[in-house]
Amino acid sequence: MFISRMVALLAFNIMRNLRNTASKNLQFALPHLPPAQNLRIVKGVFINFGRLLAEFALLPKLNPKNISKIVIYEGFENFSESVRRGKGTLFLTAHFGAWELSPFAQAVYGHPLKFVIRPIDNPYLDRLINSYRTRSGNQIIKKKNSIKELLRALRSKETVGILIDQNTTLDTGIFVDFFGIPACTTTGLAALALRTGATVIPGFLIWDSTLGKHRLHFEPPVEIIQTGDHRSDIIQNTARFNKVLENLVRRYPDQWLWVHRRWKTRPPGEKMLY
């Protein structure tokens, strides 16, 4: 962990493009931040990413006997409520905290899930990373042609994780507010929830520096809006999901991936932000 922090600080100093993107995103989202606080958060983002890499390297050493030394639950009753409803669980999650450790820990605790990934271009690295991801019993679903597998999993009352925080293209997303700025957001989570009746549970891994551990934090189910107008329901629910994430990022700004160009896709006719 010490080495990861040193590498992260080195990256902060030499990876100017990523640092500038994070700073610009913070200016968009939190324009009233003093420059010194903006810089402090950006540095924290790099440190958080370094911590993620260190935790990922240590995944093979985690097991039911030692997982509580690294990850503890917070709000597990909310996940239990989803299981009780018996219609499958959709985790509303994001590139937040040590996001690779989050599903791994959930599986080590005895609750494996499935999640969608985009294959890494390097096949050797892709194979290595996926072997780590699945060691605790999780299953990965390739993004291409994933709908059938997702529907099958939810109908079998399984758990599926969906990342909602990345910029998407006009043909696969819709514009809903994120920090007061229209952000092109995936409709996948809302569409699956409306189609299957699965329970949507916000789930994030939060680093707690006081405890020196991660808190696997589950929030109460997000009640889905169903008016019968499918297009409107998709928009309203997706906006609600973004608000859940925004509230969390406001509380822990240095644990979200600000280096991603979240507002890259713009509504037709609107100028580029980057």
The predicted-structure confidence for 59-73, as pLDDT tens digits, reads as follows: 999 999 999 999 999
Which of 115-119, 200-204, 219-223, 232-236 shows the lowest mean pLDDT across its residues?
Answer: 115-119
161 and 203 in contact (C-beta within 8 Å)? yes
> Above 90 in pLDDT, residue 144?
no
Q: Average pLDDT of 221-229? A: 96
> Above 90 in pLDDT, residue 237?
yes
> Above 90 in pLDDT, residue 146?
no
Give the Cα separation of 83 and 193 in Å (integer). 15
Give the Cα separation of 166 and 272 in Å (integer). 17
- Sequence-distant (≥ 6) Cβ neighbours of residue 1 within 8 angstroms: 51, 54
Question: Long-range contacts of range 236-240, CB-CB < 8 Å, 24 or more positions apart?
Answer: 237/189, 237/190, 237/193, 237/194, 238/164, 238/174, 238/176, 238/185, 238/186, 238/187, 238/189, 238/190, 239/176, 239/177
268 and 191 in contact (C-beta within 8 Å)? no
Q: What per-residue confidence (pLDDT) applies to 119?
A: 86
Reported pTM: 0.95
88 and 189 in contact (C-beta within 8 Å)? no
Q: Average pLDDT of 185-204? A: 97
Q: What per-residue confidence (pLDDT) applies to 117?
A: 87
> Above 80 in pLDDT, residue 142?
yes
Tokens standing for 220? 């109460």
* pLDDT tens profile 72-107: 999 999 999 999 999 999 999 999 999 999 999 999
